[in-house]
């Protein structure tokens, strides 16, 4: 009986560590204007400009609905890539990552907290787009479509968290912001998040299949019946494979850092 109580207490203590680390990481990120303002405002601003204002005499509710999916994917990418790619790189160079490893806290709590923060920012971004699209853009989806869109986008942060983690562990704090931007913006454009991918030349359409935002956007667009018509399972498998690949590369980079100490 005492052993069971001891195990339960141990699990509760571990859970408290994860909860506290996630809470403090989110508050830290939310209190950084340089991170919070671009992450939350830019996707909404682009959606208002290109989905609502410039489309006033265009395609009615079809384009706002389409761009709700693509700009939603664009929005959730940012906190994941920059939170890991830049945040981890800077804290690694400053010695915070080494300090976390030396502390009694499991290092997995550190990475869990950043995933939680990326998902929380994704939740805020997607709900903001929902409100603007539904109220001002004439977007009409069923309750199931709204819920499925939200769920897919929140889970869809994971491949970008894995990619960002790999970059954060592999790059220096000075180079990380430039490299992440060089990957983030071209990858978003070439995945068809700003311009429908079917308007691209054939070579770029084929190249989009190598980019995770393309597959996530196609999953969300499939919920609306606005996708290119490929089976959803293909996109899920590609995203899962990319996530595992990025995690493998991140683990290798983390081992190199640990071995160097």
pLDDT at 243 over 70: yes
pLDDT at 1 over 70: no
Sign of the alpha-carbon torsion through 54, 58, 61, 62: negative
Q: Is residue 3 part of a domain?
A: no
Q: What is the pTM of this model?
A: 0.92
pLDDT at 122 over 80: yes
What are residue 174's phi and psi, to 5 degrees? -75, -40
DSSP letter for each residue of 169-229: HHS-TTTHHHHHHHHHHHHHHHTTSSS-GGGS-HHHHHHGGGSHHHHHHHHHHHHHT-S-S
Question: What pLDDT does 167 receive?
Answer: 96
The two structure tokens encoding residue 240: 């899962």
Integer angstrom CA distances of residue 186 from 3, 126, 182, 250: 55, 21, 7, 22
Does the structure show a pLDDT above 80 at 176?
A: yes
In a domain, residue 6? The reply is no
Tell me, what's the pLDDT at 100?
Answer: 82
Percent of the chain with pLDDT over 70: 93
Give rounded-to-5 percent helix, strand, coil for the chain.
Answer: 80, 0, 20
Number of domains in the chain: 1
Chain centroid, CA 75 distance in Å: 8
pLDDT at 57: 54
pLDDT confidence of residue 20: 93
Structural domain includes residue 112: yes
Q: What is the mean pLDDT of residues 95-123?
A: 90
Kindly indicate the confidence band of residue 205, based on its pLDDT and cuts at 50, 70 and 90.
very high
Q: With b meaning 16 or more CB within 10 Å and e meaning fewer, what string describes 225-261? A: ebbeeeeeeebeebbeebbeebbebbeebbeeeeeee
Answer whether residue 87 is part of any domain: yes
Reported as a single tens digit per residue, the pLDDT across 37-81 is: 999 999 999 999 888 887 655 444 588 899 999 999 999 999 999
C-alpha dihedral, 192 to 195 to 201 to 204, nearest 10°: -20
Calpha distance 73→152 (Å, rounded): 10
Average of per-residue pLDDT across 228-250: 97
Does 148 map to a domain?
A: yes
Specify if 4 maps to a domain.
no
Distance CA 148, CA 146 (A): 6
Structural domain boundaries enclosing 127: 11-260
* Range with lowest mean pLDDT among 14-28, 199-213, 227-241: 14-28
Mean of pLDDT over the chain: 90
Q: Which of 126, 121, 129 is nearest to 52 (CA)?
A: 129
User: What Cα–Cα distance (Å) separates residue 188 from each residue in 67, 106, 171, 179?
Assistant: 13, 34, 21, 14
In a domain, 226, yes or no: yes
Let me know if residue 105 belongs to a domain.
yes
Q: How confident is the model at residue 261 (pLDDT cuts 50, 70, 90)?
A: low
**Residue 170 clears pLDDT 90, i.e. is over it:** yes
Q: Tell me what pLDDT residue 186 has.
A: 95
Burial of 212 per CB tally in 10 Å (0-12, 13-18, 19+): buried
As a whole number of angstroms, the distance between CA 82 and CA 222 comes to: 27
């Amino acid at each position: 009986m005492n052993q069971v109580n001891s195990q339960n207490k141990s699990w509760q203590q571990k859970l408290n560590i994860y909860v506290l680390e996630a809470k403090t990481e989110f508050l830290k990120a939310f209190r950084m204007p340089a991170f919070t303002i671009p992450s939350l405002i830019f996707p909404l601003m682009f959606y208002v400009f290109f989905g609502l204002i410039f489309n006033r005499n265009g395609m009615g509710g079809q384009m706002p609905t389409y761009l709700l999916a693509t700009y939603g994917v664009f929005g959730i990418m940012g906190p994941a890539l920059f939170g890991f790619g830049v945040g981890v790189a800077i804290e690694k160079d400053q010695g915070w990552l080494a300090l976390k490893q030396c502390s009694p806290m499991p290092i997995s709590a550190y990475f869990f907290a950043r995933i939680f923060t990326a998902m929380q920012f994704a939740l805020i971004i997607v709900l903001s787009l929902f409100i603007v699209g539904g109220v001002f853009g004439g977007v009409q989806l069923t309750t199931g479509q709204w819920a499925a869109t939200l769920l897919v986008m929140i889970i869809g942060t994971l491949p970008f968290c894995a990619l960002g983690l790999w970059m954060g562990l592999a790059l220096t704090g000075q180079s990380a912001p430039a490299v992440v931007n060089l990957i983030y913006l071209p990858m978003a454009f070439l995945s068809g998040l700003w311009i429908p991918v079917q308007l691209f030349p054939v070579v770029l359409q084929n190249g989009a299949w190598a980019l995770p935002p393309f597959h996530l956007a196609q999953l969300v667009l499939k919920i609306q019946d606005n996708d290119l018509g490929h089976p959803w399972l293909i996109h899920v498998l590609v995203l899962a494979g990319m996530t595992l690949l990025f995690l493998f590369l991140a683990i290798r980079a983390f081992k190199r850092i640990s071995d160097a100490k």
